[in-house]
Amino acid sequence: MKPIQVGLLGIGVVGSGTFNVLKRNQEEIKRRAGRGIEITMVADLNVARAQELVGPDVTVVNDARAVIANPDIDIVIELIGGYGIAKALVLEAIAAGKHVVTANKALLAVHGTEIFAAASAKGVMVAFEAAVAGGIPIIKALREGLTANRIQWVAGIINGTTNFILSEMRDKGLDFGVVLKEAQRLGYAEADPTFDIEGVDAAHKATLMSAIAFGIPVQFDKAYVEGITKLGAADIKYAEQLGYRIKLLGITKRVANGVELRVHPCLIPAKRLIANVEGAMNAVVVQGDAVGTTLYYGKGAGSEPTASAVIADLVDITRLESADPLHRVPHLAFQPNAMSDLAVLPMSEVVTSYYLRLRVADETGVLAKVTGILAESGISIDAVLQREADEVAGNSGVPQTDVIILTHDCVEAKMNAAIAHMQALPSVLEPITRIRKEELA
């Protein structure tokens, strides 16, 4: 059978990895797919460099639309990234009857509903395993492997840059800014790391996992997003003393009144496997009613790990290319006419427990005032840790200390109000640090 022909838009880190792995393992892949898969055309602005990477047998152009217009191309791989030209090219490829493989989580998290609807109308597939957690096959697990389950929650370390930074902060006792500079020097963080450190990248991925887990439309605009920039070495140290690790988690949960979709730092019990995922690695925990807890771990980025996911999508499409579109696996796991209208809850309605760190004047009665405010707010305390007063007095001339409080579950709106009252106390000297706590039991 004639090999399926693939056009590649963008041959950067992931694109070159995809080309190399596909070429290296072509016989193994052919045995699995049932026919050959060949990248026969590449679009890249740097034509000379691209041609050098792929050799003389592949056509290289500087116009992505030339790839889409080629009638011999069956599948288009979009590896350009971003929301702009990538969206136009994906929609044009779909309109031309091409299947699409993409690693573009930002595009799908924001415009996925429109893109999937266009693909369904045209009878083509949009595959995106590489968009979440790199080489970890979490999309396939959620969409197919766990299809018998009513998914209850998903929680993941899905950004390697932030996990590397938090691991270094814990290991070396350094503050965020120092470790960020080191992460940039080593190539773990971009020159502009905003999407990573502010949690946006993780929120894109959590949005896609939430849609697949619960059969709801992709709704990135309703995700709560908080990064790691305000974490200090002290918080990492205190969490450790209390038996917890701090990780940036993407969390989505099915609750009685809707779905939670949130990204923020979390205290996780140190005994949980996911709490021990270090460096730039990724991990996702899924809780299903039938299977219980499952954990997926591996490299969340990189040339060949991500290429592994891209090629898995190519194989899936090759196997199903001739199948009736109605009999293919739906883009978001659930049949398009059976999608749910479950509401994504605002963060103020989310129920969780908390770690609070208060920098206070070391005076009689301060702890009583703080715990009194929590009691009046109906917030139950789980544990209190009060440090010895600093030897050096603060600017006020009064010795200072840290008070650490762990609470039981309460609704976020109630905690927001309590923190505002505590912050107003004259004895509370700095902004209160609040980190949510997840047992993941």
∠ at Cα 252 (246, 255), nearest 5°?
120
Nearest to 309 by CA among 31, 51, 21: 21
DSSP 215: T
Element housing 435 (H / E): strand 433-437
Give the other-Cβ count within 10 Å of 1's Cβ. Answer: 7
Please check whether residue 21 is in contact with residue 7, taking contact to mean a CB–CB distance below 8 angstroms: no
Tens of pLDDT, residues 32-86: 999 999 999 999 999 999 999 999 999 999 999 999 999 999 999 999 999 889 9
The CATH code of the domain at 4-134+303-338 is: 3.40.50.720
Which CATH number fits the domain 349-437, given the four candidates 3.40.50.920, 3.30.70.260, 1.10.10.10, 3.30.2310.20?
A: 3.30.70.260
Query: Two tokens at 108?
Result: 């799908």
Task: Specify the residue for token string 């299977």.
Answer: 291
Could you please report the per-residue DSSP string of 146-208? Answer: TTTS-EEEEEEE--HHHHHHHHHHHHH---HHHHHHHHHHHTSS-SS-HHHHTTHHHHHHHHH
pTM beyond 0.75, yes or no: yes
Catalytic annotation, pick one of 140, 205, 247, 437:
205
- pLDDT recorded at residue 1: 83
Please check whether residue 137 is in contact with residue 296, taking contact to mean a CB–CB distance below 8 angstroms: yes
Annotated domain spans of the chain: 4-134+303-338, 138-299, 349-437
Could you please report the per-residue DSSP string of 321-389? Answer: TTS-GGGSPPTTSS-GGG---PPBPPGGG-EEEEEEEEEEE--TTHHHHHHHHHHHTT--EEEEEEPPP
Query: Two tokens at 249?
Result: 């988690």
Nearest to 353 by CA among 395, 304, 394, 406: 406
Q: CATH says 138-299 is which class? A: alpha beta
Per-residue burial over 299-337, b if 16 or more Cβ lie within 10 Å, else e, is bbbbbbbbbbbbbbbbbbbbebbeeeeeebebbbbbeee
Please check whether residue 78 is in contact with residue 92, taking contact to mean a CB–CB distance below 8 angstroms: no
Mean pLDDT of the chain: 95
Is 205 part of the annotated catalytic residue set? yes
d(C-alpha 216, C-alpha 342), whole Å:
7
Tens of pLDDT, residues 308-351: 999 999 999 999 887 788 788 999 999 998 999 999 999 999 99
Query: Two tokens at 232?
Result: 């200090």
Could you please report the per-residue DSSP string of 18-85? Answer: HHHHHHHTHHHHHHHHSS-EEEEEEE-S-HHHHHHHH-TTSEEES-HHHHHH-TT--EEEE---SSSH
Tens of pLDDT, residues 245-303: 999 999 999 999 999 999 999 999 999 999 999 999 999 999 999 999 999 999 999 99
| Reported confidence tier of residue 186, pLDDT bands at 50, 70, 90 | confident
Tens of pLDDT, residues 206-257: 999 999 999 999 999 999 999 999 999 999 999 999 999 999 999 999 999 9
d(C-alpha 223, C-alpha 400), whole Å:
37
| Reported confidence tier of residue 391, pLDDT bands at 50, 70, 90 | low
- pLDDT recorded at residue 392: 52
Residue type, 170: R
Q: Strand pairing of 292-299 and 99-102?
A: unpaired
3-state secondary structure of 88: helix
Terminal Cα-to-Cα distance of the chain (whole angstroms): 50
Percent of the chain's residues with pLDDT above 70: 98
In this structure, what are the phi and psi dihedrals at residue 270, rounded to the nearest 5 degrees? -60, -20
Could you please report the per-residue DSSP string of 234-298? Answer: HHHHHHHHTTEEEEEEEEEEEETTEEEEEEEEEEEETTSGGGG--TTEEEEEEEETTTEEEEEEE
- pLDDT recorded at residue 187: 87
| Reported confidence tier of residue 395, pLDDT bands at 50, 70, 90 | low
Query: Two tokens at 289?
Result: 């009613």
